């Protein structure tokens, strides 16, 4: 007799059947009937064992196997099978009483369970299928049960401290096992895998009535759990609308907790046990419904590939104002990889739905998102979007775009979509290192009605690099957008902030960190705090837009935006901006630009980046910007810098500007050492600028610099410039210990036709010791530089204890000139002024101080210095000192002759140079000359101190009748004679005095 005790492949039985038919006449009818029964049992592959007090039984009718019997304990019903499989077209029905809550089935044989048909259970019972040898769901596998479903390759299942039901130690269950299951027990070294390939089409639509699910499905609000060793899905689907799908397993012995709340099941994975892998290839997991709906995956390594999709949220047309979607929670202890086109993890409130979206929460050892894959939380309906929360122990990497749709960028997003009404969620990421490359992004935006969320990043090392093939920049975005579609909302709301904290941050090759508004609302702010920050280079040239994107941190009001620009705030040990990169704020729409705040120990701005075009390259300066570029009324933002050292070289700039209807912003710099040096390849200057363009209706901004040392050299400038009609240049104030201008450098507040700005140079903390102007450099407040109107601005240099030095023939000028307007005023207070002098007009061969007007009224020049000509009275001292003898006297106790020089009476001198004059010293009043009106320069020179009588050096002396020695300018001509006095001998005197 042929008896089936193990699961055999079907093809073996076909071969065996053929053999039997060859010798069928020898065996007889009875043997054939026996074989036919055995073959049918193998096809059914459901065989009870005999390990229960009340064993399970299976009856077969056509392809339907009905399972009855089993052992009941309270509301738990236990079944035990030698093997359990359901073939294609087959149905296994658990026929249980209506009061049963949990059907717990174990497989004690050595074969895996192959499910390629339908599993049904009566009533609302939860069904547990336990097979330590593995479980495979074929493409035709289906579930038709009233409760939740658990498929597991654990050894057994525990019931608190009451006992357990084991598949590898198949003892009879204790009658006390009346409580809900509490744990899955993995006792073997390696558990068997679970595979789901089911794509079976069900009979019912999803809750939104929009599609028919294909795969394994439980009833709405129930749970579907696959728990084993490795879990894989190849094209398979799992559906628990409004319920819970959970995947995961253990790769070594351990215990996993189960929470059973009616038909809602969830697992608690132990932290100390090695987990198994989970792999999804072309798979689909969906829990969207009117509310609830959660997905949890716990793995060592998780792969979501080839268009696999995890969906949670509020389904289309469903929900309510007080409902909330569940969360998607992914925990991969080692790696989480999501890649390829259409692969995504999404938690969304869909179109016409109402409710609050859930979060996407990811914890991983490392994270890789590529090929257009996305992590997404958003709202298309009425309700707030959830957040994307990522916590990575090592590296989080986002790269590239979808090959199928170039508009899909790899990244993490939280959005209020164009049809949505609600608040956007945040994108929070924490990692050891973060890389965004080739167009990958992190983004929190609103295109509908509601505020965008924030992007918060904390990582040790951060790299943002490059662009997509469509020249979309890698980076971080917070945007108020508009869809340009009349049936949808324009983005209305506030932009969210971007907050980045790191040890090092590198933004290169056109990558960006940006907040913006293109809708109706303010742009968010950017906050960056890192030890070392580098912005370098530009993206590839866009021939359609005729631009190249700078590597940048920026906040902007864009062209049709209505709102205020946000601020950009950078704190660093070292900030380097080079090769066309920038840190900037701007407005092209209806609103003012935000401010730039930089606080760094060292700031290095260097070089330019080029735009390519068919005519000639245009070089974009590296630098710090705030720009007003709109036809609407607004104001440019300010640039505020605090540093130990600051340099801008080779064309790099710090600039505020206006090209529209509003004033340029101001520049405030407080740094110990400042260097502005050189020009770019087109000859444009490095330096600090505040400009009003020719088309602007507004004035240049104010530049305020406080420093110990300012060096401007080789064509660099500190300048406020107005190029428009009747627009005033801003003013410049420099408080410094020393200022050096060298080789065509300039401090200038000039206009084409408006009023020139003012320039004030003064002391910093202690004193302005030195103002050095060399080789064609200038300080200028000239107006009408294009031979038009406007008054020259004023120049004030306050260095009462310092020196102003120029070289006479180097054409280094201080000018407050005008063309047809009035010349400005120049007021200088200094201890000494050398190498430059006042002239009626500039002389290109000399260094000049002028305040002239070519066709208007000259200004005035006022110089306040001590009344000392340092070139007078200088006499070369003899090489050998003169032995001067003024008088001799005797000192008691001395054996040598001693000399004395005695001054009696102070006259106009104090006892020593460190003391002030007394009240009775001679005073000399200052005299002010009346200015001369007309087209000639008026100069007044005011000495700082009272002018004493001139002291002339003595060259001789005479002896008065009373014996006094009188110093004289010229010694009289006398006839030499011998003195009648004898030279005193001090030794004799001392002997007489008893010395």
CB-based burial of residue 346 (10 Å sphere; 0-12 exposed, 13-18 middle, 19+ buried)? buried
pLDDT at 32: 31
Q: For residues 460-469, give the mean pLDDT.
A: 97
- Most confidently predicted of 55-64, 259-268, 892-901: 55-64
Q: For residues 177-193, give the mean pLDDT.
A: 87
Residue 793 in contact with residue 760, Cβ under 8 Å?
no
Whole-angstrom distance, CA of residue 626 vs CA of residue 161: 69
Q: How confident is the model at residue 867 (pLDDT cuts 50, 70, 90)?
A: low
- What domains, with CATH codes, occur in the chain? 46-284 (2.160.20.10), 307-318+327-448+456-462 (no CATH)
As a three-state string, the secondary structure of 135-172 is EEECCCCEEECCCCEEEECCCEEECCCCCEEECCCCCC
The yes-or-no verdict on residue 439 having pLDDT over 60 is: yes
Residue 381 in contact with residue 416, Cβ under 8 Å?
no
Residue 684 in contact with residue 691, Cβ under 8 Å?
no
Alpha-helix runs per DSSP H in 886-995? 986-992
Q: For residues 611-627, give the mean pLDDT.
A: 81
pLDDT at 614: 57
pLDDT in tens, 197-239: 999 998 899 999 999 999 999 999 999 999 999 999 999 999 9
Q: Which two tokens stand for residue 291?
A: 């509310």
Strand-strand pairing, 608-611 and 618-621: antiparallel
pLDDT at 703: 96
pLDDT in tens, 353-362: 999 999 999 9
Whole-angstrom distance, CA of residue 937 vs CA of residue 826: 11
pLDDT in tens, 982-993: 444 444 434 444
Give the 3-state secondary structure of residue 122: coil
Number of other CB atoms surrounding residue 918 within 10 Å: 10
State what percent of residues in the chain have pLDDT above 70: 80
pLDDT at 322: 92
Distance (Å) of CA 53 to CA 66, 84, 112, 129: 20, 19, 25, 19
Query: Picking from 25-39, 625-639, 727-741, 887-901, which range would have the lowest pLDDT averaged per residue?
Result: 25-39
What does the buried/exposed string (b/e) look like for 102-141 if buried means 16 or more CB atoms within 10 Å of the residue's CB? bbbbbbbbebbbbbbbbbbbebbbbbbbbbbbbbbbbbbb
Name beta bridge partners: 126: 102
Residue 227 in contact with residue 184, Cβ under 8 Å?
yes
Specify the DSSP element, H or E, that contains 69. strand 64-69
Query: Picking from 56-60, 796-800, 803-807, 913-917, which range would have the lowest pLDDT averaged per residue?
Result: 913-917
Among 704, 708, 700, 709, residue whose Cα is nearest residue 734? 704
Query: Picking from 271-275, 381-385, 766-770, which range would have the lowest pLDDT averaged per residue?
Result: 766-770
pLDDT in tens, 566-575: 999 999 999 9
pLDDT at 874: 38
Number of other CB atoms surrounding residue 682 within 10 Å: 12
Number of other CB atoms surrounding residue 11 within 10 Å: 8
Q: How confident is the model at residue 121 (pLDDT cuts 50, 70, 90)?
A: very high
Residue 446 in contact with residue 418, Cβ under 8 Å?
no
pLDDT in tens, 932-950: 434 444 455 555 444 445 5
Whole-angstrom distance, CA of residue 444 vs CA of residue 428: 10
pLDDT at 517: 84
pLDDT at 884: 45
Whole-angstrom distance, CA of residue 382 vs CA of residue 380: 7
pLDDT in tens, 500-522: 999 999 999 999 999 988 878 88
Q: For residues 589-611, give the mean pLDDT.
A: 92
Query: Picking from 342-346, 384-388, 873-877, which range would have the lowest pLDDT averaged per residue?
Result: 873-877
pLDDT at 674: 98
Q: For residues 484-508, give the mean pLDDT.
A: 84
What mean pLDDT value characterizes the chain? 84
Residue 11, C-beta contacts closer than 8 angstroms, at least 6 positions apart: none
pLDDT at 9: 36
pLDDT in tens, 325-344: 999 999 999 999 999 988 99
State what percent of residues in the chain have pLDDT above 90: 61
Whole-angstrom distance, CA of residue 793 vs CA of residue 750: 8
Task: Supply the pTM of this predicted model.
Answer: 0.83
Whole-angstrom distance, CA of residue 828 vs CA of residue 816: 13
CB-based burial of residue 957 (10 Å sphere; 0-12 exposed, 13-18 middle, 19+ buried)? middle
Whole-angstrom distance, CA of residue 737 vs CA of residue 32: 113
The yes-or-no verdict on residue 698 having pLDDT over 90 is: no
Distance (Å) of CA 626 to CA 274, 553, 584, 655, 955: 53, 12, 5, 7, 68
Q: For residues 457-484, give the mean pLDDT.
A: 92
Give the 3-state secondary structure of residue 25: helix
pLDDT at 929: 45
pLDDT at 373: 96
Residue 446 in contact with residue 505, Cβ under 8 Å?
no
Q: For residues 473-485, give the mean pLDDT.
A: 83
CB-based burial of residue 497 (10 Å sphere; 0-12 exposed, 13-18 middle, 19+ buried)? buried
Strand-strand pairing, 547-550 and 538-542: antiparallel
Residue 746, C-beta contacts closer than 8 angstroms, at least 6 positions apart: 712, 717, 718, 719, 777, 778, 779, 780
Whole-angstrom distance, CA of residue 323 vs CA of residue 328: 16
Q: How confident is the model at residue 961 (pLDDT cuts 50, 70, 90)?
A: low
Q: For residues 257-274, give the mean pLDDT.
A: 89
Name beta bridge partners: 232: 195, 279
pLDDT at 967: 64
Query: Picking from 226-230, 238-242, 817-821, which range would have the lowest pLDDT averaged per residue?
Result: 817-821
Q: For residues 124-153, give the mean pLDDT.
A: 96
pLDDT at 147: 95
């Amino acid at each position: 007799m042929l008896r089936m005790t193990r699961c055999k492949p079907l093809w073996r039985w076909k071969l065996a059947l053929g053999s039997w038919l060859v010798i069928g006449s020898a065996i007889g009818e009875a043997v054939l009937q026996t074989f036919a029964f055995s073959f049918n049992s193998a096809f059914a592959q459901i065989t009870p064992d005999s390990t229960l007090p009340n064993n399970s039984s299976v009856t077969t009718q056509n392809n339907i196997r009905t399972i009855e019997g089993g052992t009941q304990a309270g509301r738990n019903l236990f079944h035990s099978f030698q093997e359990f499989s359901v073939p294609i077209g087959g149905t296994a029905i658990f026929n249980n009483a209506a009061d049963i809550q949990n059907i717990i089935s174990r497989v004690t044989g050595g074969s895996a369970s192959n499910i390629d048909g339908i599993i049904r259970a009566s009533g609302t019972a939860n069904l547990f299928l336990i097979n330590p040898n593995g479980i495979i769901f074929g493409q035709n596998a289906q579930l038709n049960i009233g409760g939740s479903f658990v498929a597991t390759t654990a050894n057994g299942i525990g019931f608190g401290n009451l006992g357990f039901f084991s598949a590898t130690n198949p003892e009879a269950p204790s009658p006390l096992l009346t409580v809900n299951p509490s744990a899955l027990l993995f006792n073997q070294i390696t558990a068997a895998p679970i595979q789901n390939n089911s794509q079976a089409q069900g009979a019912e639509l999803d809750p939104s009535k929009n599609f028919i699910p294909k795969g394994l499905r439980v009833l709405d609000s129930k749970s579907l759990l696959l728990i084993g060793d490795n879990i894989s899905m190849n094209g398979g689907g799992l559906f628990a609308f409004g319920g819970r799908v959970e995947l995961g397993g253990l790769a070594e012995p351990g215990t996993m907790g189960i929470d059973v709340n009616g038909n809602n099941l969830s697992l608690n994975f132990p932290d100390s046990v090695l987990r198994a892998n989970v792999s999804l290839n072309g798979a689909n997991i969906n829990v969207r419904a009117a509310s609830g709906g959660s997905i949890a995956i716990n793995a060592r390594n998780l792969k979501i590939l080839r268009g696999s999709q995890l969906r949670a949220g509020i389904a289309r047309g469903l929900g309510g104002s007080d409902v909330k979607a569940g969360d998607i929670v992914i925990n991969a202890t080692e790696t989480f990889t999501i890649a390829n086109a259409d692969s995504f993890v999404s938690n969304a409130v869909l179109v016409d739905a109402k409710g609050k979206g859930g979060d996407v929460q990811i914890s991983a050892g490392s994270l890789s998102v590529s090929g257009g894959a996305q992590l997404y939380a958003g709202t298309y309906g009425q309700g707030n979007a959830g957040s994307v929360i990522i916590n990575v122990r090592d590296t989080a990497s986002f790269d590239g775009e979808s090959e199928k749709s170039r508009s899909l960028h790899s990244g993490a997003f939280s959005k209020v979509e164009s049809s949505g009404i609600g608040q956007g969620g945040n994108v929070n990421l924490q990692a050891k290192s973060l890389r965004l490359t080739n167009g990958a992004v992190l983004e929190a935006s609103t295109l509908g009605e509601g505020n965008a969320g924030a992007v918060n990043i904390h990582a040790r090392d951060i790299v943002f690099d490059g662009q997509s093939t469509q020249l979309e920049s890698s980076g971080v975005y917070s945007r108020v957008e508009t869809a340009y579609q009349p049936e949808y909302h324009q983005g209305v709301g506030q932009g969210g902030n971007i907050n980045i904290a790191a040890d090092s941050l590198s933004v290169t090759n056109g990558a960006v960190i940006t907040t913006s508004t293109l809708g109706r609302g303010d742009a968010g702010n950017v906050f960056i705090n890192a030890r070392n920050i580098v912005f370098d280079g530009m993206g590839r040239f866009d021939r359609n837009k005729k631009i190249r994107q700078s590597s940048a941190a920026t906040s902007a009001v864009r062209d049709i935006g209505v709102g205020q620009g946000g601020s950009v705030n950078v704190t660093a040990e070292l900030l380097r901006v080079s090769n066309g990169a920038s840190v900037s704020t701007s407005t092209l729409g209806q609103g003012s630009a935000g401010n730039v705040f930089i606080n760094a120990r060292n700031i290095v701005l260097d070089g330019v980046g080029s735009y390519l075009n068919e005519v000639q390259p245009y070089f974009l300066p590296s630098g710090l910007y705030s720009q007003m570029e709109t036809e609407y009324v607004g104001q440019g933002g300010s640039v505020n810098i605090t540093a130990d050292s600051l340099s801008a070289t080779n064309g790099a700039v710090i600039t505020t500007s206006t090209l529209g209807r509003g004033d340029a912003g101001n520049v405030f710099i407080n740094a110990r050492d400042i260097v502005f040096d050189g020009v770019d390849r087109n000859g444009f200057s490095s330096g600090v600028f505040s400009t009003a363009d020719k088309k602007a209706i507004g004035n240049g901004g104010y530049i305020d610099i406080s420093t110990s040392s300012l060096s401007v050299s080789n064509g660099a400038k500190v300048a406020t410039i107005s190029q428009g009609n009747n627009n005033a240049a801003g003013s410049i104030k420099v408080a410094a210990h020393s200022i050096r201008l060298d080789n065509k450098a300039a401090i200038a507040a000039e206009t084409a036709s408006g009023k020139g700005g003012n320039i004030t140079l003064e002391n910093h903390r202690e004193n302005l010791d030195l103002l050095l102007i060399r080789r064609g450099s200038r300080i200028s407040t000239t107006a009408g530089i294009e031979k038009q109107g406007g008054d020259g601005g004023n120049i004030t240099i306050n260095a009462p204890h310092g020196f102003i030095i120029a070289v006479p023939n180097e054409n280094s000028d201080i000018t407050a000139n005008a063309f047809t307007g009035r010349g400005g005023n120049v007021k200088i207070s200094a201890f000494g002024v050398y190498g430059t002098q006042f002239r009626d007009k500039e002389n290109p061969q000399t260094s000049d101080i002028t305040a002239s007007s070519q066709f208007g009224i000259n200004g005035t020049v006022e110089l306040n210095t001590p009344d000392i000509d340092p070139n007078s009275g200088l006499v070369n001292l003899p090489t050998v000192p003169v032995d001067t003898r003024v008088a001799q006297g005797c000192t008691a106790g001395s054996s040598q002759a001693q000399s004395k020089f005695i001054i009696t009476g102070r006259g106009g001198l104090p006892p020593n140079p460190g003391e002030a004059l007394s009240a009775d010293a001679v005073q000399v009043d200052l005299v002010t000359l009346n200015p001369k009106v007309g087209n000639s320069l008026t100069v007044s020179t005011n000495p700082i101190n009272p002018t004493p009588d001139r002291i002339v050096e003595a060259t001789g002396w005479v002896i008065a009748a009373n014996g006094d020695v009188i110093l004289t300018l010229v010694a009289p001509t006398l006839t030499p004679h011998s003195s009648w006095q004898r030279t005193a001998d001090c030794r004799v005197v001392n002997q007489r005095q008893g010395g």
